[in-house]
Amino acid sequence: METKIEGNSSGSSMSRWITFISVLVPILVAVLLFMPSKIDTGQDWVYFLPHLNAVINSAATIALLLGLFFIKQGEKVLHKASMTTAFMLGALFLVSYVIYHASAESTSFGGEGWIRGLYYFLLITHIILAAVALFPILWAYYYGYTGQYGKHRAVVKYAFPIWLYVTVTGVIVYLLISPYYSH
């Protein structure tokens, strides 16, 4: 049985929160990336964060694929656990990403030839899809969490492939640029 939430203040309140977060996060990330000067933490540990982010994205990819596997097997409890893990890893990634880009200059890609074109294609599609992914991901998680499974399935058709693409390309982009990190 589906829980009816949309017609009440809880549903409209959640809609406002999801929209607010989905707009705020990409704006915050853009501001951090293009800040004229970075926050000086005086700490070198921030240069470890891109490596950590690649591990987090890899783990999120595995959690997403396990979530798909479990739901196809009818294992709803394991599916929920996997998707909650992916969701929490995404939140952890976002915090780590914000800290890094608030305090470290962006690294330039030094590759040449076809690899340069591939890198920028993956980077640009990754950035665009990461910016729009949060909205359907939040709705998919909310609908699943509140038992609105019809709506959950409808949103997941879009959210899942975008989220999976973003996590996978995040790791690939990291692997391509990691030789050019200065720290």
Q: How much is the pLDDT for 15?
A: 87
Q: How far is CA 109 from the centre of its chain?
A: 22
**Residue 47: what pLDDT?**
86
**What type of residue sits at position 3?**
T
The residues of the chain scoring below 50 in pLDDT are: 1-7
Q: If you ran DSSP here, which 8-state letter would residue 134 be given?
A: H
Give the pLDDT score at 88.
Answer: 96
Secondary structure element (H or E) that encloses residue 31, with its range: helix 9-33
Length of the chain: 183
Note the pLDDT of residue 11: 67
- What token pair was written down for 156? 């997941």
Smallest CA-to-CA distance from 132 within 104, 166, 156, 101 is with 166
- Which of 150, 162, 148 is closest to 60 using CA atoms? 162
pTM: 0.86
CA within 13 Å, CB half, 137: 25
DSSP string, 143-177: HHHTT-HHHHHHHHHHHHHHHHHHHHHHHHHHHHH
Query: Residue 91: CB partners within 8 Å, gap ≥ 6?
Result: none
Residue with the two structure tokens 């990461």: 130
Whole-number pLDDT of residue 101: 83
Which pLDDT score, from 0 to 100, does residue 150 have? 95
Taking a C-beta distance cutoff of 8 angstroms, is the pair 101, 34 a contact?
no
3-class SS of residue 35? coil
> Which residue ranges make up each domain of the chain?
9-36+45-180
CATH class, range 9-36+45-180 = mainly alpha
* Whole-angstrom distance, CA of residue 167 vs CA of residue 44: 26
Q: What is the pLDDT of residue 36?
A: 72
